[in-house]
Amino acid sequence: MPSKNLIDYLRIHYPNTDNKELAEKLNIPLSSLRTYASKYKIKKSDAFRKELSHRFHEGRKKQYLESIPKIRLNEIEENIIIGSLLGDGSIDPGPKRSINACYTEHFSPKQLAYRQWKQQKLQRLQFKIYRDRYFNSPSHPIFTDLRKLFYRDNRKILTKDILLKLTHPIGLTCLYLDDGSLLISHNNRRSNKYYIQPEITLSTFCFTKEENQLLIQHISENFGVLFKLKKHPHGHGYRIRITNLGEISKFIEIVSPYVKEIPDMAYKINLHERILEKEVTLRKMYPDSDVILPRFSHPRHFYTDDEIELLKELKRQGDSYEVIARKLERSYYSVVDKLRRME
């Protein structure tokens, strides 16, 4: 039986004091303290309950933050994510209880192999594929920071700061495989003559005219390929494309090493095969007409035997990629990728 002095002390101090601290001070078991409080209907104050709840949630938050893996993106990982965010990807702020945002994509079943390729490249970040339709990351501060960079008033934007992160051909490849197309059309500019016209287009109409112009400038300055602005009926009214055969060949040369790792996506780089398929189709449709193929006046996507020998020699003598590219009149990334494949 507790003394009256003990119960009076509990009535004063129990409502706003931690049980363990109070039990130690009174030199009684913690279980006895709880029993006395219950028996004499002594309860914690609302203020103390609120503070206890706050401390509990802060503890959980601290535990969660400490459990987050400390990851810094390498160039390949960052470019895959940036290129994909310029395409189909988005950053979800997550549920209300989530502290950090996450990356997400929704895709069609025919693009599953492409997402599996992305998952393999981003395996360190623990990306997952759900029901063969969703490609998601865990919540992480990386994506919280990217959401701040990519979104304004819940609209995806494109800025110079974002484009500074698009530095590697694999990022350009992801933008193309997400939102790009290789189109082989034809026109009838002259009577009885059908001209085959290839085109590469990026469906960037979710960005404004000014944002698309920034993208054109960045691709030109960093990858050496010149896109042009084209009006479009959807979104903000513009997309970008290439119709010049030389520029198309340069673009395909840049992205090919990565697209070839995904056989299901080969149709986006098989320029010659698709032109020939179009020729066969047109000749069947218009047997009495001439079908005019595009002229590859500068087939820069092929390396001659002499160029390959010169490439080897320049590399052996220690020339940098930039110097080799200038001597061969090739793009920087063409030289890098060619040497990697040769090695």
Do 246 and 202 belong together in one domain?
A: yes
Q: Are residues 242 and 175 in the same domain?
A: yes
Same domain (yes/no): 14, 80: no
317: Cα separation from own chain's centroid: 38
Residue 221 sits in a domain whose CATH number is 3.10.28.10
User: How much is the pTM?
Assistant: 0.70
The CA distance from 329 to 335, in Å, is: 10
Q: What is the CA radius of gyration of the chain?
A: 31
Mean model confidence pLDDT for the chain: 88
User: Are 174 and 296 found together in one domain?
Assistant: yes
Range of the domain at 91: 75-163
Q: DSSP of 50-101, one letter per residue?
A: HHHHHHHHHHHHHHHHHHS------HHHHHHHHHHHTTT-EEE---TT-SS-
- Residues 175 and 253 occupy one common structural domain: yes
Same domain, yes or no: 57 and 84: no
Give the integer Cα–Cα distance in Å for 179 and 201. 8
d(CA 242, CA 200): 5
Residue 69 pLDDT exceeds 90: no
% of the chain with per-residue pLDDT over 70: 90
Both 173 and 295 in a single domain?
Answer: yes
| pLDDT value for 297 | 45
Domain end among 132, 163, 194 = 163
Same domain, 181 and 292: yes
The residue from 128, 143, 163 where one domain ends is 163
Going by C-alpha positions, the residue among 74, 42, 252 that lies closest to residue 33 is 42
| CATH number of the domain bearing residue 331 | 1.10.10
Q: Say whether both 150 and 213 belong to one domain.
A: no
Q: Is residue 242 predicted with pLDDT exceeding 50?
A: yes
Same domain for 203 and 276, yes or no, is: yes
Give residue-wise pLDDT tens across range 117-153: 999 999 999 899 998 899 999 888 899 999 999 999 9
Tokens matching residue 244: 């010049």
Of 163, 189, 205, which residue is a domain's last? 163
Residues 261 and 342 in one domain: no
Write the pLDDT tens digit of every residue in 275-302.
889 999 999 999 999 988 887 544 445 6
- In a shared domain, residues 149 and 130: yes
Instruction: Look at the chain and report how many structural domains it folds into.
Output: 4
CATH label of the domain that carries residue 141: 3.10.28
